[in-house]
Every structure is written in C-alpha cells, then in structure tokens.
Structure 1
Amino acid sequence: MKSNNFNYSLLAVGVAAVMGISTGANAATSGTVGDTTTKVTITNQASASYNVGELKQPTVYSNEVVIEVSEQVSFSLVSNNEDDSLGDDSNVNEEVAPNGFASFKHTLANTGNRTDSYTIKLENVTEDDKDYDLENSTATFTVYSGTTAGTTGTITFAQAQNQTFTLDKGQSVQFTINAKTTGNIGGNEQALLLSATSSILANNANTNADTKPTLTNTDRSITKLPTFSIVKTVTNALDLNDLDNDTAEYQIVVKNNEVNDSYSTEAVDVAIADNLPTGLIIAKSLTTSDIQVEGGATIGSFDTANAGAIGSKGFNIKGVNIPVAGTVTITFTVKKDPNAALDPATAINHVSVTDDLDNSANTANTVIDSTDKNAEQNMAFYAVTEQNHTDGTKVNGTNGDDSTMPLLTIKRSLSLSGVTTKEIAPTSGTLGQVTHQTVITNKGQDVEGDTAGELTFTITDDDGNTPDAISVVSSNVTITYDADGTGNIATGEPIPISPTLKNGVSVYDIHTALPGGIATNGTVTINYKVESIKAPLFTPVNSTTPTFENTVVTLTPKLEGAPTPVAVTDTTTVKGLTLDKFQALDVNCDGIISGAGEIDFTDDKIEQAEPGQCVIYRIDAKNTSSAAPLGFDITDVVILDELAEFSANADYVDNSATTTFANGTATNNGTAITTTIATLAPQATETMQFKVKIKTAR
C-alpha cells in the first residue's frame, strides 16, 4: 500500500492597525489626559490541503486564534512644589523676593503606550501685566525613563515657547522653572502659565471636541520680604563735666515686624552695622554677650574687620537671622574721642540693616534699611513708605518706621546762694520765729530733681549739739519755684516739703514737692524757720558778744553727672533787752555829780562815799536788735529797782525818780522804783534815774 503524503502551508499572520481616537479622553484636574484607545482585532486561522494518492482531499482548517490590539495615547502635566510625589495643576504661594527668582517644579509624563511628542509653552497671564521677566527666566529639565535619569539641559524663555520633547512609553520630563520677577513689591502676587501639547492628539483629525490635546499648569508666587524697624536710643547720657572719664550707652533694637501673612517673611543672613559720629569712639569692646535675641532670632558674629573693638568707630554684625516678630537688641558704650571735637547737637548715631533678600549675587535686590534715610537702598520694595525719625520719636514699627536721636549729654551745674543773717529773741515762741531763705539755681542744661533722690538738701547745726537753744523748725520748711529765674513765682504760694529721717538727719527731696523738677535757669527758694527757747543773750554771761547759732544748708545732687554738693551757712543771733546800771556820787545831794574826782556815771565800785552823801543811780534799757528790717521791737518793758536792795544803808530821795521815755513816768510804789516803756525800737535806749542818800551810822 502506498503511503499518503501531507503538504502543510503556513499562512502568514498579518496585523493591520487602523488608528481612531476615542471621544472619551478628557484632561483630569490633575492634568492627566485619560486613555485614548483604539481596539484592533486580528483573527488568524491556518488551513491545509492534501491528496491521498492521486485523490485530492478536503481542505483542513485549524482552530481560529484572535489577537486584540489596544493603543493608548495619554500624558500628564503636574505641579510638584508642595510634594514631588503628589501633583495637581497649580503651584501656589511660592515666596519670592522683589526682582528675585521663583522656582516652580513640574513633571510632564507620557502615560500612554506609544511614543508621542510634546510642545511646551511658558507665558505670563496677561501681556499688559507682566509679572515675570521671562527674557531672563530659564527652565532646567531632566528626562527620565522610569526612575532612571537621562538627558538634562536648560532652555531659555524663547526656547520654552516651542521646545518639543519626544517621550517613549514610560518616559517623563521633570522641569524646574526659574522665573525671574520684575517690578514687584511686598504683597504682590504673580501668575505664570506652563502648557504642554500632545502632537498625536493635536494632529489627529478624529480628535473629539471634548478631548484636550493641551494641558496647562498655573504657577503663583507672592512677594515677601522682612520689614525692619530700627530703634536706637541713648540709655545713659554723657557727662560733659567729665568728658575724660564718663561714657554714654546706646541701645539698638532691630525687629522684623509682622505686617501681615501675605507680606512678612523671615530675614536670613542679614548684617547690622553701626558707624559712630565724629567725636565718639567705642568705650568697651563688644562681645556676643552685648547682644540679646528674642523670637527665635540668632546672634550672628562680628565682622573681624569691624568688630567693635575699644577705640574703634563702630561695628558690623553678620549672619543674623530674624524670624517674623523676632528682635535683636545690641547694647554698647561710647566715650569722647580724644582726637576729635564733639558736637552733641549734631552727633546723631545711625544704624543700618543690610539684607540680600534672596542671598543671590544674580539679583539686584539687596535692601539697606537705615535710620539715615540717605543711606537706604531699595526701600521702594515696600508698599508703604517708612518714616525716619532723628529726634528720638517713639515708633510702633508696624510700617517699619525707624528712629534714632542726638547724643544725650549731661551738664549739671547747681549753685546755692542767699546766705542770710537773722536776729531772734531769747524765747521766740511761734510768732517770733525767724525765716531764713536759701536759693537753688539750676545753671545746667538738664532738669534737676525730676527723679526721686536726684536732688536733696539738709538743714543742720554747724556744731552738732542737740538740743540747742536755737533750733530749726524742720516741720515747717517750704519751697517756692521760679521756672525761668525771672523772679516770678510760678506756683504763687510756698510749697510745703516734708523731710525723711535718715541717720537722725532730716533729708528733703525736691522731687516730693516739685515732681517736674527745676528747669534750666529756674530757681527754688528754700524757706526754713528757726526758733529759740531761753537762749542766753550773751555767751558767756559776762561777755558782750551776742549768742548766735549757725545753720548749714547743704544741697546734695545724686545720680548720673552729679556735681559736688554745695553748702551755705546762715546765722541766727540772739538779740533782746540789755539792762545796764550805773552810779555817780553826789556829795552835796543837789543832783550834781561831784566828789572823789568823779565826773560821770560809772559801773565801777565807788570807794570814797561818806554818810550823808547821795548816790545817783541810772538804769539803761537797750534794745540790742539791729535796725530794720533785721531787728524787732521790744514791747511792754518794765524797769524795776527794788527798795530792799539798798534800804538798809540808804534812803530813797523822794521825787528823784525820772525817765527819758517820752510817755513814761518813774514812780515809787513803796517797794520799788519802776518805769514802764510801751515800745522800745531796735537800737533804742531808754533810761530810768533816781537818787538815794547814804544813811548816817548809828
């Protein structure tokens, strides 16, 4: 039997791909175009013919196999500033400095299964409001295959208008757009558009109207910059009376003010510089301990070339960071430059804060904020114009206002004048107290006594003996104030001033009675009383020198720049009635002084008198107080000479009593010879005179 031969013929597998775009492909909010799929079915079946012997047999067919081909065209354009792993169609609130660069990240990815080309475009939102200087902006890119980086490059703004990227399945491009701002100031917002167009979707005639061949991302930045408030004050003035030794103290407070959330930002790597005016130098080298920070600010470091060394003209502190609402406080001392003249009125010390806003040499946006308006730079970056004060005006700092002031100096000069001499009776009582006045004159340039304890005075005895017959009435001291020294008492009435007892001494503080102090050229008159209690008229008793007491008024300035204490001494002298008795021998009892060579009255002893002769007595009453206005009248004087004093050895001669007092009479009342004087004026003397006859011995 003849065997049968089978002939097998393999059919070629043909694949025909006919492209058509589905109408269901739309851009998602994430910027991703959905699948655009064309399904092509390829069906393949094999057949075989054969003969058996010479006889043709029926054709044999194999089973049918089917291939369904799915083509996907899709891509995404997403924004990655917030999180590289999450994307959406916008980058928002990216901070940028004036004239600085904003950085925006995007990823363009081929999410389909065939190669596609994409044309990108970078543009401002509107032509009339160019928020970005695109001519000076660039974009860098890296092409990735999966996670493997490939081609990298940089394209300019011009190239970014039509640059095409061809991406295979699974490839992506990561962009970083460095968009330069221009003309922007604090609080401005800028918008930039980045788009990518698929060539397949854009060029396919079957693209449905709902399908988006172009995806667009929006980049938004906001202009932020720190707002510096600089306040420089003199916290300790310079004593012009001690320029060789005294120092002044300055305090600088730099604050990064919180204007609002859309405006304020941290200041990073700033410099704070101080340049002293002519006539001043650093008195003590600065260290970091002279810098205090709050609110997360950092101290920084001193510039080695300008570190604030002793004898230098200032300092520069670099690398300071000041968060919003943070402060940096610097305290330092200065002194007079021995090699330069100092004019306090023009010695205004200025401070500058320098901040390269984005710390980039490629942008011209370094701000110099200064208390000296002429030294400032790029202050037009701020929406509100700051105020620069040079008179020490206090600022709230909301708008970044700055303040400094001329050098405060102290030139204190006080004088004490008006030494007074008063006379007082041996016992004054309240009505007979006498008042001393001492004048304080402020000859300096500063108000005196407006601070408690700054200006005090004491009134003390010069001998320190207590109690004294003449003493100060410490509870009845007053002052009168003349603000301009012209003699017009501003208050109109004396002001009581109460003492504080310190170590047994009454201390009077000007501030307690005159809180505003004594103005320049003003005077304060101290009025104090003294009184007497049984003060002796003479010291010692047999002396003709009046008793007196010195009281010392001492003015003691304290606190900064205090001059040396000064003092004056007032004198109070005891004056009053003196009574002197004289005698003369009248041998013939005829009223004529005669005998023993005597020719006048004497207070000496008479030794030659004989019985039967007469003696004339004269008593002089004198008011020893000085002429007006210093002295005082003595009233109701009664001169009395008792008969008992002499009646054992002599007899009063009737009707011999006389007086020089015009309205007075001398009388014998049986026990004494008396004369009454109503008023005895200062320095006046009145006399009572009478005669006695010496008894004959029995």
Structure 2
Amino acid sequence: MKSNTFNYSLLAIGVAAVLGLSTAASAVETPTTTTGVDITNQATANYSVAGQAQPEAKSNIVKVSVSQQVSFSLTADNNDTAAPTNGVQGDNKNENIAVTPNGFVLFEHTLKNTGNTTDTYDITVGATDPKYTQNASTVTFTTYKADGTPITDRTNITLNYMENTLIPSTLEKGEYVKFTIRAKTSGNKGEETLPLQLSVTSRNLAGIAGATKTLINTDTSFTRLPTFGIVKTITNGLDLNDTTYQDTATYKVVVTNDGTNFSADATNITIEDVLPNGLVMAKELIASNITVSTGATKGTIASGSLGSQGFSITNVNLPIGQSITITFEVKQTGAVTITPTVAMGMINHVTVTDDLDEDAATTGDIVIDSTKTGSPENVSTFYPAANPEVNYVKGETPAKSGDDSTVPLLTIKRELTLTGVTTKEIAPVTGLTAADTAGQVTHSTVITNTGKDVEGSKPGELTFTITDNDGGVRDAINVVPGTVKVTYNPGGTGTGVTDATITPVNGIYDINTVLTAGIKAGGIVTITYNVSANDAPLFNPVTSTNDADATFEDTIVTLIPVAEGAPTPITVTDKTTVRGLVLVKKQALAVDCAATSTGIVGSFVTTDITGALPGQCIVYQIQARNTSTTAAGFPITSVTILDEFSKFAPNATYVIGSLADMDGAEIEGTDRVTTTLATLAAQGTATMQFKVKIKTGL
C-alpha cells in the first residue's frame, strides 16, 4: 500500500498531555508488539452429470498465519561523542551541541518504522527554554523509503517551529523521516545549557495495554564562544631626550583565545590598535611583525599604516588556546610634549572584533573585546555574569582567562634574569603543611637585576607565580602553602633579608610586600619553596616498575615584571620525582622440594607458569628496591617484607625451613614469612626467597 503524504496542518494540542503519558519512555526504540491472525480458505464446486445435479465438491482447507509487528525508533543523530560530553551518537539525547550567543543550533533526529505494518506517528515539538526564539526557528523534514530513496513529495519540507505543535506522519514498513530543528537562541551567554524536547507517539500502539507508545528525545545546546585575552606590553621604551623624534618605542600585542569551559575556535576576527595623540607608526606593519602559534593565522594587514595612528588586521583565525603576537614600533610626532608624567597617561587600546557565527544576517552576535573598559566593548553581554572580565591599564598581569591588560607609554628599559633550575626526589608520603615539613623537598630560584633601575619598589611592579603542571588543581604532589621564602642580597651596600616568608594574593607573589625598597641594580633574590607528596603513586601507569615511568611534577616559577619598561615574563621549571620502595615478586619451579635446595627449573619470571604438577614445588623470590637515585635520593628505613601463607592456600603449603634472604633478618612464622632491614640505601635492594609445595589431589 502506498503511504499517505504528510499532513502538514499544525494541530495545536497541550504538550503536557502528550509528554506526560504514563506509557512514555525515553528509549531509542520501542519493544516490538506482536498481534496474530489466521486466514483460512476453502473452495467449493457445483456440477451435474447427465443432467443430474451432483453433490457439492469441497477443496482442502488452507491457512495463512499473519503476524503484525508494531515498533518504531526515535534517535538523536548529532555527533556528541567528543570530550568533554562523551555522548553516544544515535541515542535519545543530543547533548551540549555548540551554539553561539544569539545564534542558531541544529538538532538532528530520525524517526523510523521498525515494524512490519504501516503506522501513523504524531511528532510533537515540545516546550523549549525561553532563550529559544520560536518565531525565528524552523523544523525541516525529509522522508525516505526503506532503501534510502527520498520520497519526492515529502522532501525538504520546512515548517515554523511552534511549541506544542503536533505533526502527523504515516510511514510504511522500513520508511523513515530525518528532520532537523533549527533553533534560534537569544540572550544566551557562554556556558549556558538550553533544553528542548521532542516526542513521537505511535497510533497503532495507542490501544494496546502496556505497550510503549511514546519515545522522547532530549536536546541541549551549550553556548560556546571564544574568550579573548589581550595583553599589550612595551619591550623598548622611548628616549625622550631624542629631539629629532626618530627614536622608537616597541609595543607587543598578544591576543590569545583563552581556554575556558565554554571555549570555541575564533574565526575571521579583526584586531585593531589606535595610538594616542603624539604617537604614530614608525614603520609599516608587515607580515614579519606577526607571529602565530600552532593553527592560528596571521590574517590580512590593511595597507598604509606608516605614519598613521594605528593598524588593522582582518581574517585572523585563533583556535582554542592559540595566540597571535603583533610587534610594532611607534615614534613621536612632536605635536605633544611627552614627559615621563605625560607618558604615564598615554595609554592606547587594542580591540578585537568577532562575528561569532560568520553570518552577516544574524544580529546581536558580534563580540567586541578591548583593553578599554566601556564602549565599544560589549563582552559582558556574552560572558557569564559570575566571571566578569577585568581590564588592567597599568601593565598588570591578567588574573584569569579573558582579562585584558595594556600599559602606558614607557621611557626606560629594565632587565632581569631568572636562573637556578632544581631537580628533587620525594617519597610518596610527606608532611603536608608548613608546620609539618617531614620529607618535603625544597626548590630554589634566583632573580638577578641586570638592568639599571630598581625593580619592585612599587606594589605590583615585580611579581612571580609558582604553578605546577596539574593546572592548579591540588593532586598528589603540590607546592606547600606558607613555605615560599625570599632571601635578598643587595650586592654591595644596603640591608639584606634572609628567609622572609612571602604570602600570595590570588596566587601572585609581590616582591614589594617583602622588599618595600625593591631590588637594587645588581641585587640578587633567592626564592625557595617546599613541595609535598600526599600518597603519590610511584609510577604512571601504576602497574609499572620501570624507572622511566616514575611519577613527577613540573613546577614553573614565572617572574612577571610590569609597568614601565617591563621585559617579557620569564620562567624556570623545577622537577619533583616520586621515589620509594618497589616490590617485585618472581617465581620458578624447583628441582626438588628440599628446604635447603637452591636449584630451580629455568629462570625466575614475573609472568605466569603453566604445566606445573601436583607435588612439585614453587620457589618465590621477592625483591624490594629503593628507586631513589644516589645523587638526589634518600635512604628508606624500617623495611619489612612479608608474604602470608593465605596468599597461596589452600592449593599449596609452605616448605618449612625454605625461607632464605640475603640482606636482612628473616622470621619464619606460623602464618607468614618476613624479612626486616633497618635501612635500604638509595638504589639498594633486598631479597627474600622461599618454597611452597603444590598439594596433590587438586
């Protein structure tokens, strides 16, 4: 039978009545409901012979058993398998499908008649989050035959999305409908999750008690957009004594697509910089002035920047976590008399513009981020209100993703070095606080002021951070709060400082809080800090005993100079490796079961042994090893190696007198054997060996 065409009339019904059915389910496919009927048939014939009517002739009876199967499926087809959602494509959920603020999101679904009879389905587009704009959203359908051929008069049919709308569709066996909901969002911000629900009800199942009549799919969109971190610094100050106005100052602009939990790649963005009065571009901005990290693009530079008050770059692409660095030179025009005081007020701002969905027809989705607070910046419209952006204008280091920073015109040059990478080894368990430092290790880093100016004499001018490679989340290996100290050697006359505790604010250590007069030219500051271990695994993976797999943590000390003449932040990376006791058990078959016999069959192995027979003996060998190195390690004390008889009972028995060890004091107990050592030196080993006899009659 040919299927009916779509009934596209929009029959308004209450969504509560449809979605609240007690028989509704959110499975991908309904269970098959089977009903049977038998069709029988018998033929008859009437005839005459020689004009005489004969008895009616009847044929044999034939029977056909008809089995009607009713079932259907409703699947969510968006590919939501990528991290962090880790969803399942083709289940009953389209989870966290990316959408831009005020943009469109597409939800894909398939309805299929998986039974063997024609059925009519009522498709209901359910209630949505208020931030979906229904009069700008649509539902598009295409119906396919069982062989995948589109049905011509039911192809690419688009309807306006109306909440609580019911759309009937009749499908023959194997036929299916693919439909796309194109939902328009409005007023949504980064990190927001917006739900939408869809249900389908089978009319053939409506009168069957206990049958699953309705399937539900749930869609959620997750609002994503780039988070731009804009940092503008000056790497070369301007010589104000140059009356020819030919000396240049060098600016560096770094725009990063900061990683957040609602990140998205940035495509075709525009970066602009407008200089303050009194400064112009000293050189034409060209491609060699721009560097990009992996996957980012340099974009297109507008021509004619030489002598102008800034530049513009379009078509820049910044994947998540990637950056573009623009270096350019400026000089004075003479129109403004620049003094050190005036220079501190000469702040120019960088602006980044991004049309989030790259569709000029979509309104309200252009994000403008600037180092300047206020118009034209509009990031507060798009970023979560709980995490507002901060714009710094004194060269401060941004405190979090999405914060921006610029700096006044600088007229001096500063130089600093950071040296002293340290490598330490730590036991799996140590004291965890500044009051309990047992077993902790201490790293040190040296700051040297190699410039001509005092560093850190003002709050925030010279800071440093100490971070590890776990992204700031406390794990098994961590910097111990309260153990960071500063020692200052002024390098000549002046007052020094020894082991002064320095306290961070929001993870940032300010040199000025300890050295209020700053670091003199030639001065040296040594930073020390402790690292602790909280039940840290020896190896990664934990099943390894290979020293190359030893667990370690990199700790990065970053020196962050800001304000006038600030050089680029510099880092050193210290390393803390977990070392401790490794226990390796090996086994071999014995030549005999004599307690004092040392002969074995083959070699000791850590792998399984097959083919052993009842009555034979197994030799167990247990080796303890101190994995710490002789250069940076530590002794291990009070070592006890034990093996309990319950580990091999009831299939084997301990051979009395077979316990032998080569390094410690052994004890043969009634339920265990042990070996003890007072000290195991770095790289030292201790071995215990004994026999068990395999029981007969197993």
TM-score by length of 1: 0.51
Are positions 1:389 and 2:385 aligned together?
Answer: no
- 1:61 deviates by 2.2
Q: Is the 8 A contact 1:28 1:34 kept in 2?
A: no
Paired residue type of 2:97: E
1:586-629 per-position Cα deviation (integer Å, ceiling 9, x unaligned)? xxxxxxxxxxxxxxxxxxxxxxxxxxxxxxxxxxxxxxxxxxxx
1:121 maps to which residue? 124
- 1:291 deviates by 0.9
Q: Is the 8 A contact 1:366 1:378 kept in 2?
A: no
1:123-173 per-position Cα deviation (integer Å, ceiling 9, x unaligned)? 336xxx635333332122212223122322211122771222233333322
Paired residue type of 1:283: A
Paired residue type of 2:211: T
Paired residue type of 1:404: T
**Structure 1 residues 251, 188: closer, same or farther in 2, change over 3 A?**
same
- 1:393 deviates by 1.4
2:333 and 2:103 map into 1 onto residues whose CA distance is 43
2:55 and 2:451 map into 1 onto residues whose CA distance is 136
1:213 maps to which residue? 213
1:377 maps to which residue? 378
Q: How does 1:460-539 map to 2 (within 5 A)?
A: 516=520
- 1:86 deviates by 5.7
1:394 and 1:28 map into 2 onto residues whose CA distance is 53
Are positions 1:107 and 2:107 aligned together?
Answer: no
2:519 and 2:112 map into 1 onto residues whose CA distance is 80
Q: How does 1:142-541 map to 2 (within 5 A)?
A: 142-146=142-146, 147-149=148-150, 150=152, 151=154, 152-158=156-162, 161-202=165-206, 204=207, 207-208=208-209, 210-243=210-243, 244-259=245-260, 262-302=261-301, 304=302, 307=303, 309-338=305-334, 343-361=342-360, 362-374=362-374, 375-383=376-384, 384-396=387-399, 398-409=400-411, 449-450=452-453, 516=520
- 1:54 deviates by 4.9
Q: Is the 8 A contact 1:27 1:33 kept in 2?
A: no
Q: How does 1:635-650 map to 2 (within 5 A)?
A: none
Indicate the SS of the match to 2:44. Answer: strand
Q: Is the 8 A contact 1:100 1:181 kept in 2?
A: yes
Paired residue type of 2:408: P
1:445-478 per-position Cα deviation (integer Å, ceiling 9, x unaligned)? xx994399xxxxxxxxxxxxxxxxxxxxxxxxxx
- 1:83 deviates by 8.3
- 1:370 deviates by 0.5
Indicate the SS of the match to 2:43. Answer: strand
- 1:394 deviates by 1.9
1:66 to 63, 76, 85: 63
- Structure 2 gap ranges (5+): 1-22, 82-87, 414-449, 456-492, 496-517, 523-564, 566-698
Are positions 1:75 and 2:72 aligned together?
Answer: yes
Q: Is the 8 A contact 1:93 1:221 kept in 2?
A: yes
1:41 and 1:515 map into 2 onto residues whose CA distance is 100
Paired residue type of 2:200: A
1:363 and 1:196 map into 2 onto residues whose CA distance is 33
1:47 and 1:83 map into 2 onto residues whose CA distance is 64
Indicate the SS of the match to 1:200. Answer: coil
**Structure 1 residues 60, 332: closer, same or farther in 2, change over 3 A?**
same
1:540-588 per-position Cα deviation (integer Å, ceiling 9, x unaligned)? xxxxxxxxxxxxxxxxxxxx9xxxxxxxxxxxxxxxxxxxxxxxxxxxx
Paired residue type of 1:390: V
Paired residue type of 2:42: Q
Identity %: 46
2:117 and 2:215 map into 1 onto residues whose CA distance is 18
Indicate the SS of the match to 2:132. Answer: coil
Paired residue type of 2:453: D
1:26-57 per-position Cα deviation (integer Å, ceiling 9, x unaligned)? 98865222333332212111222334335544
**Structure 1 residues 491, 27: closer, same or farther in 2, change over 3 A?**
closer
2:576 maps to which residue? none
1:182 and 1:109 map into 2 onto residues whose CA distance is 32
- 1:174 deviates by 1.0
- 1:363 deviates by 3.8
Paired residue type of 2:69: Q
2:316 and 2:62 map into 1 onto residues whose CA distance is 76
2:235 and 2:316 map into 1 onto residues whose CA distance is 24
**Structure 1 residues 144, 340: closer, same or farther in 2, change over 3 A?**
farther
**Structure 1 residues 58, 296: closer, same or farther in 2, change over 3 A?**
same
Indicate the SS of the match to 1:163. Answer: strand
RMSD of equivalent CA atoms: 3.3
Indicate the SS of the match to 1:245. Answer: coil
**Structure 1 residues 161, 299: closer, same or farther in 2, change over 3 A?**
same
**Structure 1 residues 105, 332: closer, same or farther in 2, change over 3 A?**
same
Q: Is the 8 A contact 1:97 1:224 kept in 2?
A: yes
1:237-284 per-position Cα deviation (integer Å, ceiling 9, x unaligned)? 11111152111110001112223xx32222222211111111111111
- 1:380 deviates by 3.2
1:402-427 per-position Cα deviation (integer Å, ceiling 9, x unaligned)? 1111111259xxxxxxxxxxxxxxxx
Indicate the SS of the match to 2:409. Answer: coil
Q: Is the 8 A contact 1:124 1:132 kept in 2?
A: no
2:636 maps to which residue? none
- 1:323 deviates by 2.0
1:631 maps to which residue? none
Q: Is the 8 A contact 2:26 2:217 kept in 1?
A: no
Paired residue type of 1:253: V
**Structure 1 residues 329, 83: closer, same or farther in 2, change over 3 A?**
closer
Paired residue type of 1:124: A
- Structure 1 gap ranges (5+): 1-25, 412-446, 453-489, 493-513, 519-559, 561-698
1:102 and 1:385 map into 2 onto residues whose CA distance is 26
2:71 and 2:96 map into 1 onto residues whose CA distance is 29
Indicate the SS of the match to 2:381. Answer: helix
1:47 maps to which residue? 44
Aligned residues: 390
1:159 and 1:274 map into 2 onto residues whose CA distance is 46
More moved, 65-74 vs 94-103: 65-74
1:87 to 71, 90, 97: 90
Indicate the SS of the match to 1:162. Answer: strand
Paired residue type of 1:228: F
Paired residue type of 2:310: G
**Structure 1 residues 142, 54: closer, same or farther in 2, change over 3 A?**
closer
1:142 and 1:350 map into 2 onto residues whose CA distance is 51
- 1:340 deviates by 6.0
Indicate the SS of the match to 1:289. Answer: helix
Q: Is the 8 A contact 1:295 1:325 kept in 2?
A: no
Indicate the SS of the match to 2:139. Answer: strand
1:297 and 1:448 map into 2 onto residues whose CA distance is 35
Q: Is the 8 A contact 1:134 1:157 kept in 2?
A: yes
2:689 maps to which residue? none
Q: Is the 8 A contact 1:224 1:265 kept in 2?
A: yes
1:292-346 per-position Cα deviation (integer Å, ceiling 9, x unaligned)? 11243222222x3xx3621122112122222222111110001113556655243
Q: Is the 8 A contact 2:46 2:54 kept in 1?
A: yes
